Amino acid sequence: MFFLLILSSFFHPSTLNFIEPVSFTFSSFDAGSCNTTGELVCSGAAAISNGYIDLTPDPQKDNVTESSALMSSVGRVVYKAPMIAWPANFMTTFTVLISRDPNWTNFGDGMAFFLAQNGGPSPPSSHGGFLGLFNGSTEGKTCNQLAVELDTYMNEFDPNANHVGVDTNSIISDATANLDAIGVDLKLGRQVKIKIKYDSWRNNLEIFAAYYGDPLKSILNHSMVMFGTVPRPVYVGFTGSTGPGGSFETHRIINWAFATYPVLNYSHNDGHEGDKTKKILIIIFPIVTSALIMVIFLLPLIRKCKWPRKKERKLSREGIESHSRIAANVPKMFTFKELSKATHNFSKENFLGVGGFGSVYRGDISDPPLTIAVKRISATSRQGEREYLAEICTIGRLRHKNLVQLHGWCHDRSNLLLVYEFMPNGSLDRFISKGFLDWPTRYRIIIGLASALLYLHEECGNVVIHRDVKPNNVMLDANYNAHLGDFGFARLLLNETSITTMLAGTPGYLAPECSYTGKASTESDVFSFGIVVLEVVCGRRTLGGIGENNLVDYVWELHGKGQLINCVDSRLKGELEEEEEMSRALVVGLLCSHPDPRLRPNMRKVIQVLTNPNEPLMELPESRPTAIYVTVLSPAVSMNPTASTTTMSSGLYSASLDESGLQYGR
């Protein structure tokens, strides 16, 4: 008991900090993003046009001819809501394009991603080499700021004219790295993808870079403590600047994703976190050792005791509730009484259908007034418990306009319930063969589903594999916009590879390699997406068998005859003026369902093809490949002599409940 009292003093709530995750994603930028109702604040020369942000003026787009308007310009854009910088980990990825008119003499000066106390405009006199970050009249010195600069002009304090740097109290960087080392040139006029990660446990800031579409490479690791560098609440955003004397360039942000993650940390008041951690470990070790010894001696007695099943069930539920409270980033925990009232005691009149491991009911709550969908997990399903917790841990931290929003959850004795936003038009499968949707609506659904998968695979922090993409899991709101739901099978990855687990998914939508290896990956999600696309365009469900009895075989056959457009749903024949979009969608569907996962496009390429009519279509074979390509952990002979093998690792971050409880880690 004495040891427990000491331990409790170290873990007093006043010494612990817990913050909720915050994340957002801009696959592109709407014109209204920077107005008073938007999520961004633009100042200086920054402006949004054609889906991207120009931090500094574009002479051609803005019809700028006077050199004075181009030179010494500064632009800034910030996310308008502040967020917590510590104790927290954060990750951001963004794509930039830096270019220069050939008529101008030099490139200059650069841009930066920053965390700062001030969410307003850039400081005065911060043009040129001060990158819109530091006031030139104070010799470029300030505090309460962290910036990662992408510098294209060599000042006297710079190592070269193509580097990344970490700036805190001065424009003179604390650490720099030459981008030439990884073969990236900011001034080449190509899109460059940047990824920045901060690990608060290791006090490490890591920067990655690559040309867009290439694998990211780590370019800089820098040790720093966020506490003391920036204030706890910060604004995040970008700045860009041009210099005088003919040094000019445009700084364009193509997309941006940002996420912070909750971290349990100890008070920074005394500045001796390491010493306190050691003290805690010194105390914990003998307690744990003593507890293990007691368990060993008491185990024979425990085995002889016959505990009531009801008690076992209660303990299991308490464990679930404990894990749920820690893992969930959900606005509200509902009571069973509230949800029972909202659904009229789960009446037949409110029954919507059967979802994964439970039934779904419509409900109406009054505070705030909201229509909801309530999934009631089967009380006798152990697998249902696992999927319930996996759903909370996965979708609870995700935010995207094309994902079903999880409003809350409920654990009350034997009742496990999930509360979602209500989708008035139900699931997509209702409309594929029996209902009718016009072509613009179908095309919008396809793009919306692709946007959701792009967010899961590339833009939400860790990679998320949905593993069960099918029309039943695509919900339609009042305007028939697509929302991907049912994340009971989903998994989070620590790296962009594959995971090995029990086979999950639905026959017909399951990638062929999964049946042989049991692995799920982003490529297997892409395969499922391809099947859904073909179903939406053709207005029929995928079936087994061969030839016309199999949707994929049928579409490939018509493609080989040069009659691809003939497989379009006959009910759309009056809309053939949209033939170009229909053909693009069908080509995307066939390529995504390619048996070789390496030849499937990623979701970003899919979005580009679907949304940009000038984007070249991917090369499509004349007939459907017949080989089955198997991905293995080590080199081996594939199932087909002509098929090749690949090597992948499996860094799994699992948000599922196994026999011992919720497990996080590799």
Q: Of 395, 393, 377, which is closest to residue 385 (Cα–Cα)?
A: 377
Rounded Cα distance, 418 and 411, in Å: 9
> CB of 437 within 8 A of CB of 491?
no
Q: DSSP class of residue 421?
A: E
One of 58, 468, 486, 525 is an active-site residue; which one? 468
> CB of 111 within 8 A of CB of 250?
no
Q: Of 228, 294, 257, which is closest to residue 90 (Cα–Cα)?
A: 257
Q: How far is CA 610 from the centre of its chain?
A: 20
- Strands annotated E in 130-232: 145-151, 163-167, 175-178, 192-199, 204-211, 217-223
Match 């040790």 to its residue by tokens: 223
Q: Where are the alpha helices (DSSP H) in 305-438?
A: 309-327, 336-342, 382-395, 429-432
> CB of 378 within 8 A of CB of 358?
yes
Rounded Cα distance, 418 and 646, in Å: 39
Q: DSSP class of residue 483?
A: E
Cα–Cα separations (whole angstroms), residue 572 to 162, 262, 396, 441, 597: 53, 49, 38, 12, 31
Rounded Cα distance, 199 and 471, in Å: 38
Question: Residue 331 corresponds to which tokens in the numbers above?
Answer: 């606005």
Pairing of strands 192-199, 204-211: antiparallel
Q: DSSP class of residue 141?
A: B
Q: Give catalytic status of residue 553 as yes or no.
A: no
Question: Of all helices (H) and strands (E), which one includes residue 7?
Answer: helix 2-10
Rounded Cα distance, 286 and 282, in Å: 7
Based on its alpha-carbon atoms, the radius of gyration of the chain, rounded to whole angstroms, reads: 27
Which residues neighbour 631 within 8 Å (Cβ) at sequence distance 6 or greater?
498, 513, 517, 519, 521, 597, 645, 646, 648
Coil, helix or strand for 238? strand
**Burial (CB count within 10 angstroms: exposed 0-12, middle 13-18, buried 19+), residue 579:** middle
Q: Is 276 annotated as a binding residue?
A: no
> CB of 95 within 8 A of CB of 212?
yes
Question: Residue 654 corresponds to which tokens in the numbers above?
Answer: 């699992």
Beta bridge partners of 500: 519
* First CA to last CA distance, the chain: 35
Coil, helix or strand for 265? strand
> CB of 77 within 8 A of CB of 240?
no
Question: Residue 365 corresponds to which tokens in the numbers above?
Answer: 């709550």
> CB of 505 within 8 A of CB of 513?
no
> CB of 592 within 8 A of CB of 607?
no
Rounded Cα distance, 601 and 45, in Å: 36
Single-letter amino acid code for the residue at 526 = V
Question: Of all helices (H) and strands (E), which one includes residue 280?
Answer: helix 273-304
Rounded Cα distance, 241 and 45, in Å: 9
Q: Known binding site: residues?
A: 375
Q: Known binding site for ATP: residues?
A: 375
| Catalytic positions | 468
